[in-house]
Amino acid sequence: MDVIIRSALGLDRDEHETFLADVIAGLSDNPKRLGAKYFYDAAGSLLFEEITGLPEYYPTRTEMGILRRDGARLMGELAPGTALVEFGSGSTAKVRVLLDAAPSLAAYVPVDISAEFLGAEATRLQDDYPHLKVLPVAADFTSLFELPPQVRGRPLVGFFPGSTIGNFEPHEADAFLRRAARILGPASRFIVGVDLVKDERVLNAAYNDAAGVTARFNLNVLDRINRELGADFDLDAFAHRAFYNAARSRIEMHLQSLARQKVHVVRRAIAFRAGETIHTENSYKYTIDSFQALARGSGWSPFKVWTDGLFSVHALVNQAVDDGRQMADDR
């Protein structure tokens, strides 16, 4: 399976250098921070898969339930030749539910930063759906990437499941939705999975599972920094902390230093106070209204929402209409 590399930053982007620079910048900041996207190396991706099966972690299970129950209605009446574009396609479990519900889809474009993973998953998917054109794109879906030429002119429907949008700051979520509207173009649709504000006990339990998998997932980023950047984090000297910040409608994950200590990343010494934390993730929660308001302000009109009370799946339509004025702009 050929994977099309289309990063806005070009082909020569050195992931390792970027990782190192981000880690040094984040650990030199006050408060210290690391980007949530760095959780997902091979070990972290496996740990996340394990999280999705935990009894306390409801989002994956409930979203799958909604997709199974309402998949066909969610996809609506698809124009012939419609292509589905998935933003960040870690696992293909969810999109398979949509593909089964909408057999008339002509093409599937998974967009993911991990070219290797993308190639393997896309090949399996192509084998299972021989009549579907599978056109993987290796790109950072948070940047302005280009769609493969084969889907140009086709009706497009975007798919962004898993409440990954919750990892963005609200202003970043706004920028992402605007960019997606530009990428997908006039008259496109967008299906977005969004976790809901709810009882704090349910939220806190989902990020503090009894089996300690979320703790291992969080701590794995330090292990990754040790392995890939030659740092000397002592994983026993940090503890997983996760809590709901109601004022900001978000779960925060941190790694808390259990002692005053120094850690080295390459030749840099990073000092930690006892109790000091590295902020590793935000997972924003929305109400149906707060998400629809965000979408409306970012180029999308909400036209339908499906929910089970815990999670929501929104169907949006691009506010830009494919009219003459739009076409004149393109010329």
Compute how many other C-beta atoms are within 10 angstroms of the C-beta atom of residue 190.
24
Kindly tell me which of 151 and 191 has the beta carbon lying closer to ligand AVJ. 191
For the chain, the distance separating the N- and C-terminal CA atoms, rounded to the nearest angstrom, is 34
For residue 30, how far is the Cα from the chain centroid?
26
**SS3 (DSSP) at 193:** strand
Q: Tell me the closest approach of the beta carbon of residue 90 to ligand AVJ, in angstroms.
A: 8
Packing angle between helix 213-229 and helix 15-28, nearest 10 degrees? Answer: 110
Kindly tell me which of 22 and 49 has the beta carbon lying closer to ligand AVJ. 49
Q: Tell me the closest approach of the beta carbon of residue 282 to ligand AVJ, in angstroms.
A: 8
Kindly tell me which of 89 and 214 has the beta carbon lying closer to ligand AVJ. 214
Which bin fits 32, alpha (ψ -120 to 50), beta or left (φ > 0)? beta
For residue 90, how far is the Cα from the chain centroid?
8
Kindly tell me which of 35 and 76 has the beta carbon lying closer to ligand AVJ. 35
Q: Tell me the closest approach of the beta carbon of residue 156 to ligand AVJ, in angstroms.
A: 23
Nearest CA among 322, 313, 286, 319 for reference residue 301: 319
Q: Tell me the closest approach of the beta carbon of residue 212 to ligand AVJ, in angstroms.
A: 12
Q: Tell me the closest approach of the beta carbon of residue 163 to ligand AVJ, in angstroms.
A: 4
DSSP string, 100-113: HH-TT--EEEEEES
Judged by the rule CB under 6 A, the positions of this chain that interact with ligand AVJ are: 51, 59, 162-164, 166-167, 207, 214, 281, 283
Kindly tell me which of 154 and 250 has the beta carbon lying closer to ligand AVJ. 250
Residue type (1 letter), 206: A
